[in-house]
Amino acid sequence: MVGEPQPIPVGQEPPPMHRLPNGNGSTPARHRGYNGEAKGKPARRKGDRFAVVNAFLDFTAGGLTRAAALTWLVLWRDTKPDGTARTSQADLARRIGADPSTVKRAVAALVKAGLLAVVYRGSLRRGPSAYRVRPLTREQVTPPRSPFS
């Protein structure tokens, strides 16, 4: 057809519109982060999250109440890369379908068993609490002493 644009011959393509800081225009802008470097996947965190939940479910969850086990699981799911989970007890209660006082007792039981550490104690004016979850109780982490040693 007359008047339609023709394909660009090989070797005569225009240069890329966006260039990386090193001058190489091979990565499109949509694949770069805010600092101009390639986005890619983040580096793997230390530890394996599923090893933590597997240890909890295999060795610990059976000895806990329903509320305590669900509270631990929700906090495990909310754990950020820095190892802490920030949420309020009212939000935990809503998410596990329990009363806030039940969650308060569950958190106290988890702390006493060594499955949970309170990193930051929140309040109405200070925001949500921050917790660090652990998969095993203190007794499970420290093996019993042998009478022969």
Going residue by residue through the chain, which has 149 residues, state the pLDDT in tens, using 9 for 90 and above.
677 888 888 888 887 775 555 555 555 555 555 555 555 555 555 567 888 888 888 888 899 999 999 999 999 999 998 889 999 999 999 999 999 999 999 999 999 999 999 999 998 899 999 999 988 766 665 555 656 65
Q: Give the number of other CB atoms < 10 A from CB of residue 102.
A: 19
* CATH match of 49-141 with 3.40.50.720: no
For residues 132 and 92, the answer to whether their CB atoms sit within 8 Å is no
Cα separation of 44 and 17, whole Å? 33
Cα separation of 101 and 54, whole Å? 28
Cα separation of 27 and 15, whole Å? 13
Strands (E), 26-139: 85-87, 116-120, 129-133
Q: Start-end ranges of CATH 1.10.10.10 in the chain?
A: 49-141
Residue 145: predicted pLDDT = 60
Tokens of 81: 């890369």
Which residues neighbour 148 within 8 Å (Cβ) at sequence distance 6 or greater?
Answer: none
